[in-house]
Amino acid sequence: MSATAVAPRLHGIRHRRLVVLGTLLAALVAGVVLSITIGSKAVPPLDAWHALTAPTGTESDIIIRSLRIPRTALGVLSGLALGVAGALMQGHTRNPLADPGLLGVTQGAAFAMVASIMWLGASSLLAFIWFGLAGALVASVGVFALGMVGGRGGPTPVTLALAGTAVSAFLYALTSALVLLDEQAMDVFRFWQAGSIAARGPDVVWQVLPFIAAGLVLAMVNAPGLNALSLGEDVARSLGQNIALTRTVGVAAVTLLSGASVAACGALAFVGLIVPHLARPLSGTDHRWLLPYSGLIGAALVLIADVIGRVVAPPGELEVGVVLALIGAPFFVALVRRRKPVRL
Amino acid sequence: MRLQAAAVKLGYGDRTIVDGLDLGVEPGTVTTIIGPNGCGKSTLLRALGRLLKPQGGEVLLDGKRIDRIPTREVAKVLGVLPQAPTAPEGLTVADLVARGRHPHQTWYRQWSSDDESAVAEALAMTGLADLAERPLDELSGGQRQRAWISMALAQGTDLLLLDEPTTFLDLAHQVEVLELVRQLHHAAGRTIVMVLHDLNLAARYADRLVAMRDGRVISAGAPHEVLTEELLREVFELDAKVIPDPVAGTPLVVPIGTHRRS
């Protein structure tokens, strides 16, 4: 076959990827509509449209604008962040079971929040989240630095995973000890730990938005380098890729994304772990497509899990973190049983 | 000289493998490095491809120190295929070959018509066009090796370093891969440096042989000058007869060892 006959096939592959991207976007829009209209008070789509475009202060206008929109926005942001962070993490560690929490962000955020309540008298949600964010960043930088000890040219996936596990275990022990000493810290901590996107308000959305946006940009910049790296360090280097820089940008992106998400919503179990496995059959191994697919699927998944949590236990609600764990665990077992997790 | 090692000292950590070695690669030639296991031939190839930083001496690409040229610029003229590279599961041939375009892409411009024609040409040249959408792990060993070479081709370099491109392949596939290498050399005048284990194939497909032992070059030159019975004893500690290859006329190594008489 001549070179000119191959070109249309390459076009075909590209076209198919764009179609999938469009489909996933449509799924996310559907999730957004459900999240805005369904809840303890169902709002018909027309009323919801009314609240969005020309609010007049009716009951449904208030519910939509002050509760459902921030909640939906936070769901989209954290889902995007965790989906992309999960795909990045699995790509960098070449481990299909890697999770963004591996960098110690979850335990870092938890410890910083509890410490801020006990010692600094932090009392508003907005303040906790700043501390959580700082804790996530510091923990992840610490893990990265520890992972570099003794290695040449940046941390390797193995040293990173070991350092992450050690730091997480250490911080978890500290946090557990602290919450036992302080009842108020315990209450706040439990509320945060369950993993929820409800009752956060628009301020929290604006607070984490810049971090997640920066993380998404870094992730997309990192995608081509990660593609090269997935062929092994020697091939990546021969393709002109700077390995240490690629790893550093990747870790920075994962830290911003999962740190912001975990600070705002608590731990949303399984999103970072499962979503890349759902995206990979659609995207193949090209991270330039895998990352956006993972982001969109992650966002849709968080919204749908949140909507399910609103309707399964009336008149109360189930936190999205709980619903995700309930769907996620069996789903993951099924995924592992049906097909061996891929070698990355 | 396209590529030159000048008094290079190579090793990993405290272990020195090559000390004070000189080697020059002439433009437009196929140079093949031979030698026993552990003689430092792969280490030398890695240093020539700037995958390993010399502990002393320097590697020159077109007369300039290779570590002073931005790695991405090097990647536009010099391609390296390491020994037995691994790819993520499910990677298709087309995707693998497309990744060879990496040094020509920037984060804001990911795909151009140049990339497209380079990939299409590399696929066609290696006879993989019909397999473009197949995952790499479904291919035979020979096809897979051709796919990796195709990736290096798409990179568009006129200098190629191949580390044992025939490892794990049966004889038919070894010949298939080396025929491809020769074709790349003839078609576009590429300069090729490779490490090979099979001495007879090395003699058949190289313009120049470099025989190494214990990190030193023992002999370098045309195959019939290098591949002699004395050299085989010195380098491989092997008693062998060297006769002309009945097909190509290049030296053919026949080991003596102990044998059956009929």
CA of A7, closest CA in chain B: separation in Å? 6
pLDDT at res. A10: 64
* Interchain pair A240, B72: CB under 8 A: yes
- Interface size, chain A vs chain B, as Cβ–Cβ contacts under 8 Å: 115
Is A63 in contact with A47 (CB distance < 8 Å)?
no
Write out chain A's pLDDT in tens, 344 residues.
445 556 666 667 778 888 999 999 999 999 998 888 887 777 777 777 877 777 777 777 777 777 888 899 999 999 999 999 999 988 988 878 788 878 888 889 888 888 888 888 766 777 778 888 889 889 988 888 888 775 555 667 778 888 888 999 999 899 888 888 877 777 777 777 778 888 777 888 888 899 999 999 999 999 999 999 999 889 999 999 998 899 889 988 998 998 889 888 888 878 998 999 999 989 888 899 999 999 999 999 999 999 998 888 877 888 888 899 898 888 878 877 766 555 66
CA of B177, closest CA in chain A: separation in Å? 19
Is A209 in contact with A77 (CB distance < 8 Å)?
yes
* Interchain pair A239, B120: CB under 8 A: no
Which of B3, B48, B71 is the mutation pick for testing A, counting most A CBs within 10 A? B71
CA of A106, closest CA in chain B: separation in Å? 28
Least trusted range by pLDDT, from A245-249, B181-185, B257-261? B257-261
Considering only CB atoms, which chain A residues are within 8 Å of B155? 239
- How does strand B191-195 pair with strand B159-163? parallel
Among partner residues B75, B94, B105, which is closest to A224 by beta-carbon distance? Answer: B105
* Interchain pair B120, A286: CB under 8 A: no
pLDDT at res. A1: 44
pLDDT at res. A293: 96
SS (H, E, C) chain B: CCEEEEEEEEEECCEEEEEEEEEEECCCCEEEEECCCCCCHHHHHHHHCCCCCCCEEEEEECCEEHHHCCHHHHHHHEEEECCCCCCCCCCEHHHHHHHCCHHHCCCCCCCCHHHHHHHHHHHHHCCCHHHCCCEHHHCCHHHHHHHHHHHHHHCCCCEEEEECCCCCCCHHHHHHHHHHHHHHHHHHCCEEEEECCCHHHHHHHCCEEEEEECCEEEEEECHHHHCCHHHHHHHHCCCEEEEECCCCCCEEEEECCCCCCC
